[in-house]
Amino acid sequence: MKSKLSEQIYKKFNRFYYDFSRLLLGSSHCNQDVENKVDLEHFRNDVFYKLALLFTILGLFPIFFGAYLFFQEDNVIAGVLELLSYFVVLMLLLSRRISISVKRYIFILCVYLLGLMLLFVVGPTGAGLIVIISAIILAACLLDKKQSNTFIFINLSAFLVISTLFSFSFFEKLGIYGYKDSWYVVAISTQCIGTLFVLIISNILSNIESKIKENERIISMIAESERSKAVLISNLPGMAYRCSYDSDWTMKFVSQGCVKLTGYAPESLVNNKDLTFNDLISPEYRKILRNEWERVLANKLPFRYEYEITSAGGSRKWVLELGEGIYSNDGQVEMLEGIILDISDRKEVENALKYHNDHDMWTGLYNRRYLENILKNDGMIEETINRALICINLSTVNLVSTTYGFYYSQGLIKRAAEMLMLLCTDNHQLFCTYPDQFIFYIKDYENKNELIEFCSSVINVLSSVLISERIGGGIGVIEFDNDNKHDFDRLLKNVLVASEKAIVSYDRDFGFCFYDRKMELHQIREEAIQRELLQITADENSSGLYLQFQPILNLKTNQICGFEALARLSSADLGRVSPQEFIPIAEKTKFIVPLGNIILFKALQFLNRLNENGYDTVSVSINISAIQLLRTDFISSVLEMIVKMQVNPSNIGIEITESVFASNYQEINKVLGELKDIGIKVSIDDFGTEYSSLARANELNVNCLKIDKYFADKLLLLNEDEVIVADMISIAHKLGYSVVAEGIEYEEQRRYLVDNGCDKIQGYLIAKPLDEEMAIELMRKHLN
């Protein structure tokens, strides 16, 4: 509370002092930093100098009037003394040579005493009063706190002495007569007021003094913080600035860091001496930066932006600017302040990362992510131009990597990329979307013919690289339309599908295929089948998958000796789906592994049912695809199932196609050997259709060859001399295999096979694939 009051008084004094000094000395003498830089001595001297001067000047008239009265009374000495004392005070004030000195204090005290004496001796001129007050004030202004206390003490003592002397009529005894007693009272009051005045002043002064000391402390703290700020600024990895918010960003202050950042000295930029900061900003950012400043200033937000500048040497540098506006009281932008940091190193790393992100490292082409972004951006612009994607699928190159190694095939891909780059234009952009896949994004083409021509060009340039390697490939083309243009994920997928179709269609050659409605329907169905397979494998109670069983007749005994388990898929949406359709899809999506386990389980369940019904020598053979067979856990999972279902392994057969040997002959044959050891019978399915390997068939760990229906059909067309089935049977037997002929529909086929020693037959002649109940029923009838 007290400090608040003194603070107020201090402020008022300050204000008064400055208003007053402005009035007397003119504004040029006023120190602008009134709040911060008050000098104690200067302040005290000045304010009291002016007060004393005022009082002294005010005393001019009563002094002259008093002197005039002295002269009228012929008291010349008193009149001269009065004027003299006045002028001494006045001269002292006007000389303004004010400093704290005891000598001067004593001198002023003398003046004061002189005035006091004049008051008593000479009478009521009022002059003495003014002189006394002037002298007190003047004295007070010359003293520090300690001295003014001394002053008060001396004053009071002097007053006490004079009063005592008065009370003992000392002056009268000396022959000096005072006027009336009332002047004695006036003298005491004057003395009291004067002393009180000095007391108050000295108290205020001490408050001001402590305030000023506090101020000085703050000032020194500010100075310290200014110093550390200066250290900080001079060590910034960039430059600090203060500039006007104008078209040139006119710099008012620029730190030394400017030299390192821009190559120019700070002086060159300040006030646009040699160049403006706007000149430094790379042209493409100038407008963006101005807009960004406008935006942040309108909302009084901090500014943060990364852009490029051109340094004195002409090189470009990435900088990060962090700044903010300085606003006037009415919210107008007065200045901008901030720092500009060199972020070239960071940008370099960032750009490298971005490059890695957007490019295929091997070919240096933009990658799939980048293509997706472009498609996304283009998709947002409602364009009327024709657009298409052309996918060049070189997955076939992988075939050579198994022979010549990874780097050889990668080298081919790189050369292919270089050749394809020759076809790039603004409207034919090339991307490497997978290690062995390129996509051309075609814009603004005339018609389909133009796309066909472009595909031919692609084939031409690639032929030089790939034909000599006997590698083909597939080119898929998809045109954007209103249905697909926003679903770029689907676009990319469909164009890949088209390219795969082209690979299949053209085999070892190069061809192209447009993605069309038929392909789309096919794909939609395939996806529906995939969903169905997912559901079947996820839900063990699903009835979507079941088995039918086709009997195999032993021609020697004329008994049904086994069944082949054939998988069936049916769903509400798709109806019945042929295994020829869903098994390849399951193989492609690897659903075949869990699906194969379900099939094995169901087949063994049927085997158990046959057992329960007393048909314990009847076997069940199960079709196994290469993917299942190649899994390292295949044997163990079959064994586990055998144990779980408690079936006799010698009643289990598996059927594999010749093609499984193509991938890894040694490995597959080893697995088959293990199956054989367990007692499982292994048959080669569709024998004779693949590039047959009877040459080394004797090395195979199989028990039986199932001659494909193709040969059974031939029996109907050709005469006996021309068919080779008899030879196949005979060779198979020589190699130690039993033979099953598949797809037997007619009696004449059966007869031929019986005549030529075939072991078993399977086909509609015996029965079509049957449901479980029907199969059991057939057995029952057959045996009766």
Residue 451 or 744 with smaller CB distance to ligand C2E: 744
Retrieve residue 84's tokens.
């003299």
Residue 264 or 591 with smaller CB distance to ligand C2E: 591
**Residue 616: CB minimum distance to ligand C2E, A:** 23
**Residue 725: CB minimum distance to Ca ion, A:** 15
In 3D space, the residue among 653, 600, 587, 599 whose CA is nearest the CA of residue 626 turns out to be 587
Partner interacting with residue 740 (select from Ca ion, ligand C2E, none; CB below 5-8 Å by kind) = none
Give the CB-side neighbour count of residue 448, counting CA atoms within 13 A.
Answer: 8
Residues found in the chain: 784
Number of Cβ atoms within 10 Å of the Cβ of 498: 26
Write the DSSP assignment of 289-324 as a string of letters: HHHHHHHHHHTTPPEEEEEEEE-TTS-EEEEEEEEE
Is 173 strand, coil or helix?
A: helix
| Distance from C-alpha of 766 to C-alpha of 104, rounded to nearest angstrom | 145
Starting from the edge strand earliest in sequence, which strands make up the sheet with 428-434, in order? 366-367, 428-434, 437-443, 387-393, 473-479, 510-514
Please pick, from the candidates 623, 651, 683, 756, the single residue that binds ligand C2E as defined by CB under 6 A: 623
**Residue 473: CB minimum distance to ligand C2E, A:** 29
Number of Cβ atoms within 10 Å of the Cβ of 426: 7
Partner interacting with residue 436 (select from Ca ion, ligand C2E, none; CB below 5-8 Å by kind) = none
Write the DSSP assignment of 686-715 as a string of letters: EETSSS--GGGGGGS--SEEEE-HHHHHHH
Give the range of 256-264, 421-429, 475-483, 737-745 binding Ca ion by CB under 5 A: 737-745
Q: Give the per-residue contact string, 503-542, with ligand C2E (x = CB under 6 A; - = no).
A: ----------------------------------------
Q: Is 658 in the site for Ca ion (CB under 5 A)?
A: no
Residue 129 or 740 with smaller CB distance to Ca ion: 740
Give the CB-side neighbour count of residue 41, counting CA atoms within 13 A.
Answer: 4
Q: Count Cβ atoms within 10 A of the Cβ of residue 199 and give its class: 0-12 exposed, 13-18 middle, 19 or more buried.
A: middle
Please pick, from the candidates 685, 705, 715, 760, the single residue that binds ligand C2E as defined by CB under 6 A: 685
Give the range of 168-176, 193-201, 213-221, 577-585 binding ligand C2E by CB under 6 A: 577-585
Residue 386 or 623 with smaller CB distance to ligand C2E: 623
| Distance from C-alpha of 343 to C-alpha of 318, rounded to nearest angstrom | 5
Q: Is 59 in the site for ligand C2E (CB under 6 A)?
A: no
Q: Give the per-residue contact string, 381-420, with Ca ion (x = CB under 5 A; - = no).
A: ----------------------------------------
Q: What is the gyration radius of the CA atoms in the chain, in angstroms?
A: 57
Q: What residue spans of 236-265 are helical by DSSP H?
A: 257-262
| Distance from C-alpha of 391 to C-alpha of 476, rounded to nearest angstrom | 5
Q: Is 715 in the site for ligand C2E (CB under 6 A)?
A: no
Q: Is 532 in the site for Ca ion (CB under 5 A)?
A: no
Give the range of 35-43, 186-194, 350-358, 620-628 binding ligand C2E by CB under 6 A: 620-628
Partner interacting with residue 743 (select from ligand C2E, Ca ion, none; CB below 5-8 Å by kind) = ligand C2E
Please pick, from the candidates 27, 463, 578, 730, the single residue that binds ligand C2E as defined by CB under 6 A: 578
**Residue 768: CB minimum distance to ligand C2E, A:** 7
In 3D space, the residue among 92, 182, 171, 82 whose CA is nearest the CA of residue 138 turns out to be 92
Amino acid in position 558: N
Partner interacting with residue 323 (select from ligand C2E, Ca ion, none; CB below 5-8 Å by kind) = none
Measured CA distances, 547 to 362, 455, 528, 640, 761 (Å): 49, 46, 21, 21, 20
Q: Is 566 in the site for ligand C2E (CB under 6 A)?
A: yes
Q: Is 686 in the site for Ca ion (CB under 5 A)?
A: yes
Give the CB-side neighbour count of residue 541, counting CA atoms within 13 A.
Answer: 0
**Residue 405: CB minimum distance to ligand C2E, A:** 33
Give the range of 173-181, 252-260, 343-351, 623-631 binding ligand C2E by CB under 6 A: 623-631
Partner interacting with residue 648 (select from ligand C2E, Ca ion, none; CB below 5-8 Å by kind) = none
**Residue 566: CB minimum distance to Ca ion, A:** 7
Instruction: Classify the phi-psi angles of 266: left when phi > 0, otherwise alpha if psi is within -120 to 50, otherwise beta.
Output: alpha
Give the range of 81-89, 452-460, 761-769, 771-779 binding ligand C2E by CB under 6 A: 761-769
Please pick, from the candidates 685, 740, 752, 763, the single residue that binds Ca ion as defined by CB under 5 A: 685
Sign of CA pseudo-dihedral 113, 118, 119, 125: negative
Locus of tokens 């060049």: 392
Binding residues with ligand C2E: total (CB under 6 A): 21
Residue 372 or 690 with smaller CB distance to ligand C2E: 690
Q: Is 550 in the site for Ca ion (CB under 5 A)?
A: no
List of residues contacting Ca ion (CB under 5 A): 623, 655, 685-686, 742
- Interface residues with ligand C2E (CB under 6 A) are 550, 565-567, 578-580, 583, 599, 623-625, 655, 685-686, 743-745, 763-764, 769
